[in-house]
Amino acid sequence: MYIKRLSLRSFRNYEAAELEFSPLTNVIYGNNAQGKTNILEAVYLFSQGRSHRAKSDKELIRFGDEFARLSLDFRDSERSYGCNMQIAKNGRKSVSINHVHIMKLSKLMNYLNVVMFSPEDLELVKGSPSARRRFIDSSVSQLYPAYLAALMDYNKALAQKNSLLKALRAKGSRTDIMLSVWNEQLAQNGSKIMEARAGFTKFINGAAAAVQNEISGETLRIGYRPGVRTEDRSPEAIFEYLSSKESREIDMAASMYGVQRDDLDISVNGCEARLFGSQGQQRTAALSMKIAQAEYIKSIKGEYPVLLLDDIMSELDINRRMYLSERIRDKQVLITSTDTDLIDKDTDTRLFRIENGTVIN
């Protein structure tokens, strides 16, 4: 799939801008703080329904303005889509695709798929487990709405269970019938989530290992480490496991087991990458995982997602840059950089110079 045109009104530091993209490489360049990442953020918004960096949607509206208005035209192998979005000061977003109003923003990801590469991807390897869970969740929910639904139901039940555990501690009580009701719901949804996460990890392990090996000859291994230690991922087995941990969870007044504690084990040449990997090995592992994420979307959708590369070329050495350039050559990619020399260009490459919220072609 590829995006054809983006139009911005009162978005971030843009009063008004129009960009017509090449279906292949697009380079968005300029000095720091001019509005390069803002362009990628706008595209990301049309896929994920939320910004990759703003805490509140209000931040997206140009200072002093009431509304931000964005539109994006894109197409996949079957058809074209025109998508409009309006963001109001109270945080309300209204979105339509081909003039049909979209009630749930999470529906957007069924239409437009993107993968964002940024220097913060290093967190996938070095950061906390929640960064790795977000990586899994954003990949899988782009393709399986039922996964997102299970995740949301799971989180609702988890919040209820956590407040019950706290209430039990406050009362000094050690039993409540509702505990097994919540565990039952956690087991039902947890089972679906674990199955999907295990399947995703298996794919990513194969694809990312191939990339890492090609770049550096190293052996990358990514394994799924579930927060419920059962071989059997059926709802019954998970329920039984959670039930056996009730007493400990009551002691701790917190849910200690479940998919909210899932993680990925990432190793390079047999050593845990988080603790023993060099910066370069960690960066390569993160890059391999993101390329694998794009391959995963392709394997299910039959089409590559749009690749958004935010300022990552300057972080990579020449070998990794060359490898990445080769991998993205036949796909649509939007690359931001302060230095166009770092990017491979050919006759199809389109360049956009950004200066203080203005696109200068």
Enumerate long-range contacts of 198-203, CB under 8 Å, 24 or more apart.
Answer: 198/224, 198/226, 198/233, 200/136, 200/139, 200/140, 200/296, 201/136, 201/264, 203/292, 203/295, 203/296, 203/299
CA-to-CA distance for 312 and 44, rounded, in angstroms?
A: 17
Residue 314 has which token pair?
A: 């300057």
The count of residues interacting with ligand ATP (CB under 6 A) is 17
Question: Is residue 118 near ligand ATP by the rule CB under 6 A?
Answer: no
Interface residue with ligand ATP among 94, 106, 155, 338 (CB under 6 A) is 338
324 CB-side CA count, 13 A: 29
Interface stretch with ligand ATP, choices 36-44, 111-119, 217-225, 254-262 (CB under 6 A): 36-44
CA-to-CA distance for 14 and 8, rounded, in angstroms?
A: 7
C-beta atoms surrounding 84 within 10 Å: 18
Question: Is residue 37 near Mg ion by the rule CB under 5 A?
Answer: yes
Q: x/- site string to ligand ATP, residues 57 to 96, per CB under 6 A?
A: --x-xxx---------------------------------
Nearer to Mg ion, 194 or 286 (CB): 286
124 CB-side CA count, 13 A: 27
Which is nearest to 222 in space by CA: 291, 174, 164?
Answer: 291
Q: x/- site string to ligand ATP, residues 301 to 330, per CB under 6 A?
A: ----------x-------------------
Question: Is residue 33 near ligand ATP by the rule CB under 6 A?
Answer: yes
Shortest gap between Cβ of 120 and Mg ion (angstroms)?
A: 11
The one of Mg ion, ligand ATP, none whose footprint includes residue 160, by CB under 5 to 8 A per kind, is: none
Interface stretch with Mg ion, choices 6-14, 32-40, 89-97, 347-355 (CB under 5 A): 32-40
Interface residue with ligand ATP among 7, 25, 26, 34 (CB under 6 A) is 34
Sign of CA dihedral 317, 319, 320, 326: positive
Nearer to ligand ATP, 38 or 84 (CB): 38
Shortest gap between Cβ of 113 and Mg ion (angstroms)?
A: 22
The one of ligand ATP, Mg ion, none whose footprint includes residue 332, by CB under 5 to 8 A per kind, is: none
Nearer to Mg ion, 36 or 320 (CB): 36
Which distant-in-sequence residues (6+ apart) come within 8 Å of 318 by Cβ? Answer: none
State phi, psi for 65 to the nearest 5 degrees. Answer: -100, 165
Shortest gap between Cβ of 17 and Mg ion (angstroms)?
A: 16
Interface residue with ligand ATP among 21, 35, 87, 116 (CB under 6 A) is 35
Shortest gap between Cβ of 4 and Mg ion (angstroms)?
A: 23
DSSP code at position 120: G
Residue 162 has which token pair?
A: 């956590």
Interface stretch with ligand ATP, choices 56-64, 147-155, 266-274, 345-353 (CB under 6 A): 56-64
Mark out the alpha helices in the chain (DSSP H runs). Answer: 36-48, 123-126, 129-143, 145-171, 177-216, 235-244, 246-252, 273-276, 279-301, 318-328
The one of Mg ion, ligand ATP, none whose footprint includes residue 284, by CB under 5 to 8 A per kind, is: none
Interface residue with ligand ATP among 1, 6, 12, 74 (CB under 6 A) is 12
Interface stretch with Mg ion, choices 6-14, 28-36, 171-179, 278-286 (CB under 5 A): 28-36
| One-letter-per-residue 3-state SS of 306-350 | EEEEECCHHHCCHHHHHHHHHHHCCCCEEEEECCHHHCCCCCCCE
Binding site for ligand ATP (CB under 6 A): 12-13, 30, 32-38, 59, 61-63, 311, 336, 338
Binding site for Mg ion (CB under 5 A): 36-37
